[in-house]
Structure 1
Amino acid sequence: MNHLATFFLSLALFCSGTSFAQGAPQMNLPRVKLTAGMYLVDTQVAATPEQRATGLMFRRQIPQSEGMLFVFEQASEQCFWMKNTLLPLTAAFVLDDGTIVNLADMAPQTLESHCSTKPVRFVLEMNQGWFAQKGIKAGFKLSGPPFKSSAKSGTTAP
């Protein structure tokens, strides 16, 4: 089993016993550090269907350098809405290697669907404006434990 599979298996086992009160923000999810160029992002990881369904709902604030990484079992078109989400957010739809496919600004408390333009396994939600303020756009590559490396030990992937 590779390190990525081990990471997600451990995360899923940790999260499987966790339950959240409906209507309350989930505040104690596992965390992982990501980097976006020179910026460090502390992310909570939503890896189970229940955690992904709740996401950042009911939060009144999130620190500027924090976000939530949604992890899906397989790559597919991912669509998000903002029901019960009180803060304006931007979703970055991210490939397995950390490359951002597209960004979507999302208004609070709406049912408007915001979708990836390609199949992805990851979605990173941050405060709206965070990506723009940092000059991060589609094509930018994030780094961190969840993302597969395209180069190992000096060799490049096919």
Structure 2
Amino acid sequence: MAAAAFALALAACSTQAATDAPLSPAAQEAGVHPVSGLTVIPLTIISGTSGDQTHAFRVEVAASPGEQQMGLMFRTEMGANEGMIFPLAQVRMASFWMRNTVIPLDIIFIGPDNRIINIARDATPYSEQPIPSDAPAAAVLELNAGRTAELGIEAGDTVQW
């Protein structure tokens, strides 16, 4: 059990405090992030009780086990509308930690129906405390800490990528 929790926690996190800054020029370009070398894609979160609010992001895709293990470790900044998505190979209970992650994050666990299961807000940099999903997840999204509260993003909202 402990070994499984440890393995699930290997996907590391990192982000910077939310700002109103636009996307960085690098993230606006289609293709590859200049720091991580990961593919950058558009991602939208649809929130509000009637789905009347949409929030657009450009996110790096951490697809392979190695990319997921590295995550946002050692990064010192990220634009307000940037993030990183971790598509999971199979739907499962997920757990992240903040080992070697310099900047605080909001960690969003996404179910197989693309709805947000739960949000771990303001995850503490460098913490090795496991941050678990409340139900089996298909993906995990990391945004700057405080961004979900600022935009009114909640459990039940839909994520499209």
Report the TM-score range of the alignment, normalised by the length of the smaller protein: 0.7 to 0.9
Match of 1:35 in 2: 44
Aligned pair in 2 of structure 1 residues 142, 43: CA closer, same or farther (>3 Å)? same
Partner in structure 1 of residue 115 of structure 2: 99
Distance 1:31 1:98 in 2: 19
Structure having the higher Rg: 1
Q: Which amino acid aligns with 2:110?
A: V
The AA in structure 2 aligned to 1:112 is Q
1:78 equivalent to 2:83? Answer no
Tell me what 1:142 maps to.
159
For 1:52-67, what aligned pairs fall within 5 Å after superposition? 52-67=68-83
Tell me the CA shift for residue 26 of structure 1.
5.3
User: Does the CA-based 8 Å contact 1:94-1:122 persist in structure 2?
Assistant: yes
AA matched with 2:142 = E
Across the two proteins, how many residue pairs are aligned to each other?
120
Q: Name the CA distance, whole Å, in 1 between partners of 2:70 and 2:138.
A: 17
- State the distance in 1 between where 2:149 and 2:64 align: 29
Gaps of 5+ in 1: 1-24, 145-158
Asked whether the equivalents of residues 26 and 54 of structure 1 are also in contact (C-alpha less than 8 Å), the reply is no
CA contact (8 A) 1:26 1:56 kept: no
Tell me, what secondary structure is at the counterpart of 2:119?
A: strand
Task: Work out whether residues 59 and 86 of structure 1, in 8 Å CA contact, stay in contact via their aligned partners in 2.
Answer: yes
Distance in 2 (alpha carbons) for counterparts of 1:72 and 1:58: 22
**Runs of at least 4 residues of structure 1 off by over 6 A?**
none
Distance 1:67 1:97 in 2: 20
Partner residue of 2:148 out of 122, 127, 131? 131
Task: Determine which of 128, 131, 135 is the counterpart of 1:118.
Answer: 135
- Percent sequence identity over matched residues? 36
